[in-house]
Amino acid sequence: MIVHLRADTVSVVIDARDLPSIVHWGAPLGDLSEDDLVLLADDAISPIPNNAPDVPIPVGLLPSARHGYPGRPGLRGHRSAGDWLPSLTRSSVARSASEAVFDTEGGGLSVRSTVELAPSGVLRVRHEVRNDGFRAYTVDGVETALPVPAQASELMDFHGRWIREKHPQRRHFDLGSWVRESRRGRTGHDATPAILAGTSGFGFRTGEVWAVHVAWSGNHVTYAERVHEGRGVLGGGELLTSGEVVLAPGETYSSPWVYAAYSGAGIDGITSAFHQWMRARPSHPVRPRPVVLNTWEAVYFDHDLDRLKGLADVAARVGVERFVLDDGWFRHRRDDTAGLGDWYVDEGVWPDGLSPLIDHVTGLGMKFGIWVEPEMVNPDSDLFRAHPDWVLAPGDGTFPPTSRNQQVLDLAHPDAYAYILSRLDALLRDNDVAFVKWDHNRDIIGARVHEQTLAVYRLLDELRSRHRAVEIESCSSGGGRTDLEILARTDRVWASDCNDALERQTIQRWTALLLPLELIGAHVGPPHSHTTGRTQDLSFRVATALFGHFGIEWDIASASPADQEALAEAVAFYKSVRGLLHTGTLVRGDLPDPSATLTGVVGPDEAVFSYVQLTSAERTVPAPVRLPGLAPSRRYAVTPVTPGGAPRSQQVPPPSGATRVLSGRALTDVGVRPPVLMPEQAWLLHLKAV
C-alpha cells in the first residue's frame, strides 16, 4: 500500500508495501492515481552500489540496522543483552484522509506507528512498542526518522543558556551526524527547539525548509544525519538512560510525538504551519490575553501588604488586568535558600492569609495569580527534614549536588505526588486564584527522568481537571521548558528570566518559531535591567513586549508620573491591537543589514510592524524596508505609532509621524524608509486597509 497524506502546502507519501518509509515529504503533489503513487515509490528505491547489501535499504520511520541501514537506528533495545536487532515485518495498515497507522511485529515485539498530517501542514509521528515476549525487554531508544531531499544542504538549530535562550546557528548539512542531546531532565535552556534543514541560504521568506521538533519535557535528542550514500534525515525522540524503561511482558512504551513541517516559502512558512496548528487545538486560550503585572522585579521577597496594595493601585490605574504574586509567600521563604516544599501561606508574613491582598486586587477589577515551584524542595524545609526519601536521587544512598539550593522532589513517589497535589489543590480551592506561574529552576541529575516527566504531566492534568478556569504558565528559570508537550497542559511560557529588551528581541523572535505570540510571556521590565545592567528607554521596552503576551515586571509605583502615563498609553495600545497580534500571521523580514530586524503581524484588514535597530547600523542611511505578507491589491493607511514614547533618532529633521496611503504591492516590493534610529530603538507602524 502507498499512502498519500495531503494538505494545502505539503504532501507526504509513505511506502507501506513493507516497513513504512516516507518517499516524499515536501511540496504538494496534487491528485495522484494509485499508479502514480506506485511509480513514485518505485523511483524512490535506492539503487544498489558496489560493496553494499544486495537489496535496497529503505529509510523507515524507524530505521533498522537489521535491514542494513548504516545510520542511526530508530528502535534500540534488548532482552538480557540478546534480541538487540528485532526483525519487524508489516502486519496491517489503517488510514484516513489525515492519518495512517502502521502495525509491525517480530522478535516478540509489536510496534504501532501513527502518522498524522494536520490541515496546517504540521506532520506528527509517534511509536508505541509493546513487549509480546515472555521476558522483559529493555528499551534503549525509539526515534523517528524523516527523510529530506538532497537540496536540503544547510542546517539551522539553536543554542542558549539562562537569560540568553534560543540563538540560531547554521552549518552545512554534510556527511555524518549533527546530534543535539539534552540531558538536563527538562527541555533545557541550551536545547534546540527544532532542527531545520533547507536549501542554501534559506531565510524567513525564501527557500525550501524542513523542520523537526521533539515534544518532550525531559531528556531528548534531535538530530540531522546524512549517510555516505547521500540520503539525509531529520529525527529525534526521548533520550533514555540505560535501564530506564524496561517493559514487562504485555507492557507498552509510547515515544514522544515528533512534530515536523515543510515550507516552500522560507522559515515563515514553518512558523505559519505551527501557529495554525497550535491555534486549532481545543485547549488553546481563546480569551483576550490579559495585561499582566508580575511582582518579582518590583518587590522580590519583600512581601509587605501595604506596599503590594500600593503597587496594585498603580497597576489598576495603568490598565493591568492580572496581578501575579511571585516567590516569597509561603513558609520560611525569606530568600531562595529555604522553604520550597512548605506550601502553606507564611503566617509570619501573611497573618490573615492571602485574602487581604487578593480581595484588594480583585476589588480593583484585576484577576489574581501566584507563583509556585512544586517539583522542587529546599534541604532547609520542613518537607525535606520530614521526608528526605522523597528526593529524586540515584538510589545509592546519596543525593545529587544541590543547584540553586534545591533538590528535585520525586513526583513518581506516590506519597510525594499526593502531598504536592493536595497542597496545590488546597491553594487553588481556598483562594481566588486565576493564574499559576509554575516554575522549575534546576536541572535534574540522576536517573528516572522518564518517570518524573510523566508524573509532572499527570499532576498538571489532574490539577487542570479540578480547576478548569485557572491558567498555568510554564516557567523553567525562564525558557527552559517550552516544548509542545508541556504546552499541551499550560497556557503560555515565560520566554526568559531576562527582561532586557535587547536580549528579548532575539529570544522572542526564535521562541516564536513554533509558538504563537499569545503563548509567549513578554514583560516591560525596569529601566535598568538587573540581569544585564543595561538601561533602556521605555519606548524600546514597550515595543519589544508588544510582540508577545504583554505584561509588566517593574516597580511602577516608584516610576515617575510621566512614565506611568506613557505606560498607560502603551497598555491601551496593546489592548487595541492584541486581537490582531494574537490571531494574525507572524512575518519577519530578511534585511541586508544584520544590525536591524523587521517583525510584523498581518491580519485581514490591518497589520503592525516593528523595525528595530539593535546596534549601530552599518550604513548612515538605512535602506527602504519591505513589509511582507500584505495583500498586493489592497491599499493601506500607514501610521507611525509611539506607545511608550517616540524612539530616539539621529535624523535631522526628526522623522514625521504623518499617515500615508500606499498599496500592498508597493509596501511589499518597494517598502518604506525607516528613520535613522539610535541603537536599541524601535519604529512601530500600524497599518489599516482603506
147 CB neighbour count, 10 Å cutoff: 23
Of 342, 483, 491, 497, which is the active-site residue? 497
3 state SS of 414:
helix
Question: 151-167: string of b/e by CB count within 10 Å (b at 16+)?
Answer: ebbbbbbbebebbbbbe
Residue the block writes with cell 497507522:
101
3 state SS of 140:
strand
Within 8 A by CB and 6+ apart from 362, the residues are 368, 432
Whether omega before 653 lies within 30 degrees of 0, making that bond cis, reads yes
CA 457 – CA 462 distance, rounded (Å): 9
Q: Cell for 401?
A: 549536588
Q: Cell for 80?
A: 538480557
Q: Is 8 a catalytic residue?
A: no
CA 298 – CA 541 distance, rounded (Å): 16
> Which residue, 105, 113, 99, is CA-closest to 143?
113
Of 439, 443, 500, 590, which is the active-site residue? 439
Residue the block writes with cell 535602506:
623
CA 308 – CA 326 distance, rounded (Å): 11
> Which residue, 620, 614, 609, is CA-closest to 662?
609
- Please answer whether residues 521 and 290 qualify as being in contact, where contact means their C-beta atoms are separated by less than 8 angstroms: no
Q: Cell for 108?
A: 516478540
The helix (run of H) or strand (run of E) holding residue 575 is helix 561-581
Residue 409 is given by DSSP the state B
301 CB neighbour count, 10 Å cutoff: 14
Within 8 A by CB and 6+ apart from 548, the residues are 495, 508, 517, 520, 521, 522
C-alpha distances in angstroms, 665 versus 272, 634, 636, 684? 21, 8, 10, 20
Q: How many helices (H) and strands (E) does the chain have?
A: 12, 35
Q: Cell for 136?
A: 522483559
Q: Is 497 a catalytic residue?
A: yes
Output helix, strand, coil percentages for the chain, rounded to the nearest 5: 20, 35, 45
- Please answer whether residues 303 and 309 qualify as being in contact, where contact means their C-beta atoms are separated by less than 8 angstroms: no
C-alpha distances in angstroms, 2 versus 93, 118, 203, 412? 10, 19, 33, 42
CA 56 – CA 99 distance, rounded (Å): 27
Computed on alpha carbons and rounded to an integer, the radius of gyration of the chain in Å comes to: 26
Residue the block writes with cell 498607560:
568
Catalytic residues: 439, 497
